[in-house]
Chains A and B, each alone.
Chain A
């Protein structure tokens, strides 16, 4: 590997790209500490908006809902998605190609279409819309993402380590827990991380499958900014960015430790 420094113009260009990415977020964070109610001019530092935020019972409820939905849907989608990835890796059966390609349809089709179809489906089976339907919807769109990530990890998986495990006296179940799962764990964790973040900020599908009273953070934010972006929303967004950043950092550390 050469340690050569990139050319000056490349460095300037990269800096501008990063600026383009992060300047809006930076402004948002700065204005969350602004005393003025409008996001126009800096007037002075305050933590008032955070206080307002934590006292807003609607936001707190939405946060709680969002986290519950994200945790449950991530857990279920990771288990099912990993199972699907293992099955597609291991077995060949009639209709394999079809099964494999339709699995990824939720990734490709517009979210609106998926949202409407879920709504129509819940209506058809007369299922009461609410937190449960949101969770089910999130599980549905998360499974293919987990499968995609885990399959990438399984590519090049040496099947003989499973055979070695059985050869040494471990039955199928023990082999899965002691050998297969630890080997594919980095992939499973990445899949789960992706599912968690996707669930955290989903708006469209959640909008269609949410019933009255069942609000998540993205839904709440949209209703809050209907008239104006308040510093309270800025504060909320700042915390949100921070949370995602922490998740990202954890996943990076986990990946590093594995290799």
Chain B
């Protein structure tokens, strides 16, 4: 067994455009997916995630580069000879066949004996909780049930890798959350490598062992959900995953990972954590997430003395109480509004305990959570 379940080595896919031009849907992508991993490819539509998946499945061939599955170069191997199965966004169930026939199809193609097919289909339907539905047609099932049939149909082949192309996209929010957990549990149970394509960042964070964030045909960052959220490597990733606030600046000083950034709008300096390949004088974006900002009363300067550089003055514009926390929009001048989430960890009915519009506040950006990111793509 090779080290990696799937490997993309410098893969390029070029499509002709209707206007007669060319577009690189996937642009020099290199990534390795480990055995048994739940790996997500995350990005906005048109970022190349689905094209990458389709190349792994064999529906498209790379223009350049090579894809390896279990260490074997795939070249132009057709889909039916790859140890990979796919769950399609549209489910792609065979409408003229029953649930049983759909799930049995893959085994029939392998000429598995009839008795064994019956046994295995029964077990697969039980796994996805569809026992007793085997004689129905796909049209007689709900969206969630159809999704499970698609899953059973792909998993029954015991593939080395299961590809999932936005499989929960068509389900409503509640069912979707349920299926996320179920899918994750199922993956642990069967121990198969899952490659999951989605544009929903929350879904990717919830389910994945590792995530590749893609944009415009390129992989921007690969890492665990924590790494991607807490240490994005560029402005795009910080912006796409979760919510964040940005400030424009210029690098002034670098000392062992701690950067001093000049904010020209505020004629002020701010300290933050940054990537080692940043240089003095470089234009950067300073990113800080709403839940990591601390608000202090205007007159309470002692509380933040030890980190006094990273304080901006502002005025509360609006607040929204959402139960677990309060969302506060603070105007810090120069048409810049910062979003702050304050956790409501004290239970009180006193409205004075919360910020209200027009309160003057100090916006404290703790330096260890203030990220200095390159402007463009890393």
Contacts and interface: CB of A to CB of B under 8 A. Distances in A.
A and B co-occur in one complex: yes
Interface of A: 158, 160-161, 163-171, 174, 178-179, 182-183, 185
Contacts of A161: 92-95
B287 interface: no
A173 to B, nearest CB: 11
A166 B92 contact: no
A233 to B, nearest CB: 44
A179 to B, nearest CB: 6
Nearest to A164: B92
Contacts of A169: 80, 106, 109-110, 157
Contacts of B84: 167
A167 B102 CA distance: 13
B79 interface: yes
B88 interface: yes
A139 to B, nearest CB: 29
Contact of B78 (A160, A171, A185): A171
Given A167-B58, A168-B80, 19 more contacts: A158-B92, A160-B90, A163-B92, A165-B105, A166-B58, A166-B59, A167-B57, A167-B80, A167-B84, A167-B86, A168-B106, A168-B153, A169-B109, A169-B110, A170-B109, A178-B105, A183-B94, A183-B96, A185-B96
Given A167-B85, A169-B106, A174-B109, A183 B157 contact: no
Contacts of B93: 161, 164
A168 B162 CA distance: 12
A166 B78 contact: yes
Nearest to A160: B92
A173 B110 CA distance: 15
Most B C-beta atoms less than 10 A away, residue of A163, A166, A168, A183: A168
B79 A166 contact: yes
A168 B88 contact: no
Contacts of B92: 158, 160-161, 163-164
Contacts of A185: 96
B80 A171 contact: yes
17 contacts: A161-B93, A161-B94, A163-B88, A164-B86, A166-B59, A166-B79, A166-B80, A167-B86, A168-B105, A169-B106, A169-B110, A169-B157, A170-B105, A171-B80, A182-B94, A183-B95, A183-B96
A179 B109 CA distance: 13
Contacts of A163: 57, 59, 79, 86, 88, 92
Most B C-beta atoms less than 10 A away, residue of A158, A166, A167, A185: A167
A213 B305 CA distance: 112
Nearest to B110: A169
A167 B302 CA distance: 65
Interface in B28-63: 57-59
Contacts of A182: 94, 96
A168 B157 contact: yes
B277 to A, nearest CB: 41
Interface in B125-157: 153-154, 157
B202 to A, nearest CB: 26
B103 to A, nearest CB: 10
